[in-house]
Structure 1
Amino acid sequence: MKELYDKKNISYYSHTRPELLKFLPKTFTSILDIGCAGGNFGQMLKELYKCEVWGVEPGENSAKIASTKLDKVYHGPFDNETDIPANKQFDCIFFNDVLEHLAQPEEALLLATKYLSPTGCIIASIPNIRFYPAIISLLRHKDFKYLDAGVMDKTHLRFFTKKSMIRLFEESNYIVKTVEGINRHTFKYLEILNFFLLKSIDDMHYPQYAIVATKNE
């Protein structure tokens, strides 16, 4: 699996994800970015909001780059071995296209509660397997083809729909506050079909969903 990550284009690790800024809580001072890649997203948060940003990144090269941009970066997976101080808490913890790369994403969400402040929230971006190109590949081409990036990224271990994303959080003891499709794609024939089906397949326009959740105390 490491070889697959090493072969990815450098742009894979450099996204800033400005579409996620709207989901930030009204007030916050500290952020934990799980899977922070090269740290560009966290750096943007620091510049815009003057907040403290820590990161966790399994890729050695990306972690080194991120450490020059963020307040603190841990190289390695986010698990019980991550050496974040036990008393450290964050107002917001990001999982930007991370949970689908984990064999047990619920374990990461459960661990995150340890570092989430009582009023804090989780913000996650998760690929949507019902995105129309993936469905067309299944129905028309009878194929489940992995790609270098996107919904069908060959490094994804788990696949989610909007419904199963919500279930993942609820079964991990969170309350889902927001579920919203992001980076909508327009496809004329899908728009027409969606209209006649009373918007019942509107979710197929979105390659990802943003989830905002809080701890279920």
Structure 2
Amino acid sequence: MEQYVSQSFGNNLGDNENDYSKKSENYYQGVNYSILNFINPRATYVLDIGCAQGNLGYVIKQKFGSRVFGIEAFAPAAEKAKTKLDKVYIGDIESFKFPFSEEMFDHIIFGDVLEHLYDPWGVLSKVKPYLKKDGTIISSIPNVGHISVLTELLMGKWTYRDLGLLDKTHLRFFTLSEIKKMFELCGYEIKQIHRIEVTNEFYNKLIIALKDCLESVGVNRENFIEELVAYQYVIEANKK
């Protein structure tokens, strides 16, 4: 392992820093295995932005033999990532000064990160020069259009929580349409979209009732059911 790198970039936690410090240990230990399906087996360099404790990057290293660099704003998590990844930087991705060569990375990963940023559009544009010509952005993004959120809205609620779609540390909220617009605006072309679905019997009944209601007033929304059961989207995109 290379030496852990700490630079005074500040952090992007801002007024939410205390909220991040109060999160359970499990919050920083998760691995979204759906992301692994988008890793090129021949990838040599991967950048994991918001790498937390480095568990996803560690799996990538073990499975594909890639060198994985991480950037993490929450210092205690970054301290643990340094034992698992090739190099870890602590700092705010929105003000981070990249020490990397242009077109260095096969993949740049944003695993449940973009929704925590003040300017995810700016960050997606900022990282583009460091992606190889045939490299891809891989991002997992929660869907605020999920039926669970809509159900709360119908009940007059929008309740922030420590985890989940209405995590109190989320600064931006996206539906599939807005995700597509963001990548298009930032100069990317989406290659693949994978839905991670969460539903139950009650939600399914409500979805059918809502669909019937919309159709009764002449609204026929394509992919209505698919988008309401999508809890999260995993997006693979490359530079145009």
Give the TM-score, by structure 2 length: 0.84
State the Cα distance separating 1:86 from its structure 2 match: 3.6
- Equivalence for 1:153: 167
Which has more radius of gyration?
2
Number of aligned positions between the proteins:
214
1:32 corresponds to 2:53: no
> Could you give the per-residue CA deviations for residues 91-143 of structure 1, whole angstroms, max 9, x where no partner exists?
0010000000001001110111021011100000000001111110001x201
1:201 corresponds to 2:225: yes
Q: Secondary structure at the match of 2:150?
A: helix
Give unmatched runs, 5+ long, in structure 1: none
Q: Tell me how far apart the structure 2 counterparts of residues 101 and 126 of structure 1 sit (CA, whole Å).
A: 10
Pick closer, same or farther for the CA change 1:25–1:194 going to 2, 3 Å: farther
Instruction: Find the partner of 2:195 among 181, 188, 203.
Output: 181
Aligned-residue Cα RMSD (Å) equals 1.7
Contact 2:94 2:119 in 1 (8 A): no
Which letter maps to 1:124? S
> Could you give the per-residue CA deviations for residues 175-214 of structure 1, whole angstroms, max 9, x where no partner exists?
11112211x2232244356568485222111211011100
Percent identity, please: 37
> Could you give the per-residue CA deviations for residues 53-100 of structure 1, whole angstroms, max 9, x where no partner exists?
000000111111101100001100113533423446100010000000
Kindly report which structure 2 residues correspond to 1:1-217, keeping only aligned pairs within 5 A, or say none. 1-25=16-40, 27-87=42-102, 89-139=104-154, 141-182=155-196, 184-192=197-205, 197=211, 200-216=224-240
Q: Secondary structure at the match of 2:115?
A: helix
Find runs of 4+ consecutive structure 1 residues off by over 4 angstroms. Answer: 192-199
Q: Tell me how far apart the structure 2 counterparts of residues 8 and 114 of structure 1 sit (CA, whole Å).
A: 33
Q: Tell me how far apart the structure 1 counterparts of residues 35 and 102 of structure 2 sit (CA, whole Å).
A: 27
Contact 1:32 1:92 in 2 (8 A): yes
Give unmatched runs, 5+ long, in structure 2: 1-15, 212-221
Q: Tell me how far apart the structure 2 counterparts of residues 215 and 80 of structure 1 sit (CA, whole Å).
A: 22
Give the TM-score, by structure 1 length: 0.92
